[in-house]
Amino acid sequence: MTNPRKSVKSAGRKYPTILITGASQGIGAALAKTFAKELSGVRLALVARNAHKLQAVARACEKSGAKAVTFSCDVSDEAAVAKMAKAVKAAFGVVDVLINNAGAFTMAPFAKTKVAEFDRMIAVNLRSAFLVTQAFLPAMVRQKRGDVFFMSSIAGLGAYPNASAYGSAKFGVTGLAKVVREETKTKGVRVCCVHPGATWSPSWSGSGVKPERIMPAEDIAQAIVDIYRLGRNTVVEEIVLRPQLGDL
């Protein structure tokens, strides 16, 4: 799961530890690289299923001076998340910033959406955020400090045709973020729900959609880094980012 030679646990906790799920590509990879460039000495716990891609992201982050450890994990699996959380805590101790970025997207009319695909969308997008947050939030509450980001979508704010499974999952993420915010706002934990519109990822390759209709993943990452940098008395509860030309 992780390389013990890269364990960066330290007593001083001088640098924040940031855990990013879905860190192997797209917004997750952009987040890792942006934090690495902008927060000198940051400690990154990079989580995804694809170990090979994760290692490439970790190497890029370490070139910027970050300490990066990779954890291969299916974050929709309860036992796998428990195992990953134990390994992260052994390597880093307490996680200061959790970014629930793992997700997937498929389209189909409601009448043609298979139960198995509906369940997969709920698991990958919503169940994963629930499991990972449950694993790391208690330590944040105990130390009375932390940040949790939930990656929802504009599909978690409004209805889109042919997205019943994905939209249901993202509406769930939005609701989960609101509940966690209400339960932790007096405990030193800031919770932000991020609602991006169309953002570049490998899934757009070959789609024929013009680049100017899609936001770069780096812009979403930069917004999250900037939100994290705000003073502790300020929280951005929700942020909506859309392509300048509007939704697809």
CATH code at position 38: 3.40.50.720
Tell whether the model's pLDDT for residue 5 goes beyond 90.
no
Q: How far apart are the first and last CA of the chain?
A: 38
- Beta-carbon contacts of residue 215 (< 8 Å; ≥ 6 apart): 196, 197, 198, 199, 200, 241, 242, 243
Evaluate whether residue 89 is within a structural domain. yes
Evaluate whether residue 1 is within a structural domain. no
0.85 exceeded by the pTM? yes
Evaluate whether residue 6 is within a structural domain. no
Domain that holds residue 45: 13-241
* Closest C-alpha among 74, 243, 239, 103 to residue 163: 103
For 33-63, the pLDDT digits (tens) are 999 999 999 999 999 999 999 999 999 999 9
* Closest C-alpha among 242, 27, 28 to residue 154: 242
Helices (H), 198-246: 217-229
For 106-135, the pLDDT digits (tens) are 899 999 999 999 999 999 999 999 999 999
Evaluate whether residue 5 is within a structural domain. no
* Closest C-alpha among 109, 103, 96 to residue 122: 103
Q: How many domains does the chain have?
A: 1
Evaluate whether residue 247 is within a structural domain. no
**Residues 199, 171: Cα–Cα separation, whole Å:** 18
Evaluate whether residue 98 is within a structural domain. yes
- Beta-carbon contacts of residue 203 (< 8 Å; ≥ 6 apart): 105
